């Protein structure tokens, strides 16, 4: 699909299996994979194309091969990189990013393992790996490796882009050591919240790995690259929670919407290099922090997670449209330009009525 050029931004969609709740309430699977790069609505109303589609038959290890390996390998050779998961709460972002460490690891542990394997394999270079783990909650940057460090400030750093003042950075020499940082970060998320799942779906969490490398022979070149592994806040719109949403909830939604919207705009402008419009990095902490990892020669991999179920239709469509904007793919075939599911029902009702009329003739 599309022209084959050197792509810095890869956009994939991962469809999770129907969950217990959806099955119990008679939910129907209405989105399905259509070849390697297509996804279609079962009734044929819509189909979309991306760089890759994964469905319930795909393990995270396979997702990593397409969405992770290149980003990691570029990072090892000195280029910044980002891997994101975007989607509504419950769509599979954390499953994709973190997974279950030993039995079904996600992109974060797989990336860490790959970094250390690459380092072991490389010769003539020395590496230093530093890790930090933060969350952005209500536009406040909090250190997940030290629960006392809240609302950290960002500052321009001429050499390395944006720096987080005072953030904990641990030097790591093995995957195991990095994994214990991840475990510690998860624990601190728990402390920060009375309802862990709710809170974590309303914050962006970013695991950052800074890869420094130095030639040990020949010219003493030093390269420094940052890898950002991001589990974004749930993208669902405020009205899913009804008009009774508390004022704390609307504040959270306002911040989430603003940062995800800005992220979408930034990525869209980046994937449309011909358009010289300014890129609004400064409009949210998330994009400001990620600016060095998004611009220039960086590699960006986005996984948009969706539920296949009919009852998530509106949120799924909104995620698919985000993915489309991120990639600016032109070859979207919309066989039926009805955007409203209710209107679609009206259309089908009309077709049935017309068929019945014809049978009567």
From Mg ion, ligand ADP, none, interface partner of 188 (C-beta below 5 to 8 A by class): none
Q: Is 16 in the site for ligand ADP (CB under 6 A)?
A: yes
Q: Which part of the chain contacts ligand ADP (CB under 6 A), choosing from 12-20, 34-42, 138-146, 320-328? A: 12-20
142 binds, options Mg ion, ligand ADP, none, Cβ within 5 to 8 A by partner type: none
**Cβ-based nearer residue to ligand ADP, 161 or 308:** 308
Rounded CA-CA distance 237/252 in Å is: 11
Work out which of 17, 38, 147, 280 binds ligand ADP, going by CB under 6 A. 17
Structure tokens at 127: 């590496």
Does position 94 interact with Mg ion (CB under 5 A)? The reply is yes
Choosing from 47, 80, 201, 271, the residue that interacts with ligand ADP (CB under 6 A) is 201
| Token pair 């993208």 in the structure block, residue | 235
Shortest distance, CB of residue 14 to ligand ADP, whole angstroms?
A: 6
Judged by CB under 6 A, the residue of 8, 47, 80, 91 near ligand ADP is 91
CA 103 to chain centre: 22
How do beta strands 125-137 and 170-172 pair? antiparallel
User: For residues 164, 228, 288 and 319, what is the CA-based torsion angle, rounded to 10 degrees?
Assistant: -140
Closest CA to 299 of 122, 55, 51: 51
- Interaction of residue 106 with ligand ADP, rule CB under 6 A: no
Beta partners for 48? 39
Extract the tokens encoding 122. 């490389």
Cβ-proximal residue to ligand ADP, closest one: 92
DSSP-assigned states of every residue in 39-98? EEETTSS-EEE-SEEE-TT--HHHHHHHHTHHHHHHHHTT--EEEEEE-STTSSHHHHHT
Which tokens sit at 342? Answer: 């209710």
Residue 146 interacts with ligand ADP (CB under 6 A)? no
Q: Which of 155, 152, 185 is nearest to 170 (CA)?
A: 185
Helix (H, G, I), strand (E, B) or coil at 155: strand
Q: Is 95 in the site for ligand ADP (CB under 6 A)?
A: yes
Q: How far is the CB of 240 from Mg ion (least distance, A)?
A: 16
Binding residues: 87-94
Binding-site size, ligand ADP (CB under 6 A): 15
Q: Where does this chain touch ligand ADP (CB under 6 A) — which range of 88-96, 160-168, 176-184, 351-359?
A: 88-96
> For ligand ADP, which residue of 94, 111, 287, 316 counts as binding (CB under 6 A)?
94
Binding site for Mg ion (CB under 5 A): 93-94
Q: Which residues bind ligand ADP (CB under 6 A)?
A: 16-17, 19, 56, 87, 89-95, 201, 234, 305
């Amino acid at each position: 699909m599309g022209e084959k050029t050197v792509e810095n931004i890869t956009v994939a969609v991962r469809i999770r299996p129907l969950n217990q709740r959806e099955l119990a309430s008679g939910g129907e699977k209405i989105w399905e994979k259509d070849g390697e790069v297509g996804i279609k609505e079962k009734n044929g109303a819509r189909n979309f194309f991306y760089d890759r589609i994964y469905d319930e038959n795909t393990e995270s290890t396979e997702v990593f091969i397409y969405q992770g390996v290149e980003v990691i390998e570029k990072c090892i050779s000195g280029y910044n990189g980002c891997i994101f998961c975007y989607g509504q709460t419950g769509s599979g972002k954390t499953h994709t990013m973190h997974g279950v460490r030993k039995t079904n690891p996600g992109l974060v542990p797989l990336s860490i393992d790959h970094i250390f394997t690459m380092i072991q394999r490389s010769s003539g270079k020395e590496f230093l790996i530093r890790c930090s783990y933060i969350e952005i909650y209500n536009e406040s940057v909090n250190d997940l490796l030290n629960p006392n460090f809240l609302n950290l400030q960002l500052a321009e750093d001429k050499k390395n882009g944006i720096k987080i003042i005072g953030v904990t950075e641990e030097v790591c020499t093995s995957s195991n050591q990095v994994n214990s940082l991840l475990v510690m970060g998860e624990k601190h998320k728990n402390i920060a919240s009375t309802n862990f799942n709710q809170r974590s779906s309303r914050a962006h969490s970013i695991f950052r790995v800074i890869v420094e490398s130095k030639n040990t022979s020949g010219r003493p070149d030093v390269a420094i690259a940052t890898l950002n592994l991001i589990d974004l806040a749930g993208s669902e719109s405020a009205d899913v929670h009804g008009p009774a949403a508390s004022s704390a909830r609307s504040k959270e939604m306002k911040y989430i919407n603003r940062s995800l919207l800005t992220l979408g705009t930034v990525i869209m402008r980046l994937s449309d290099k011909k358009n010289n419009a300014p890129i609004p990095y400064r409009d949210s902490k998330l994009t400001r922090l990620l600016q060095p990892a998004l611009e220039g020669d960086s590699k960006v991999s986005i996984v948009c997670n969706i539920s296949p179920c009919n009852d998530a239709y509106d949120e799924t469509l909104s995620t698919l449209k985000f993915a489309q904007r991120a990639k600016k793919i032109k070859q979207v075939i919309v066989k039926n330009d009805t955007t409203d599911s209710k209107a679609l029902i009206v259309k089908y009702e009309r077709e049935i009525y017309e068929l019945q009329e014809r049978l009567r003739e």
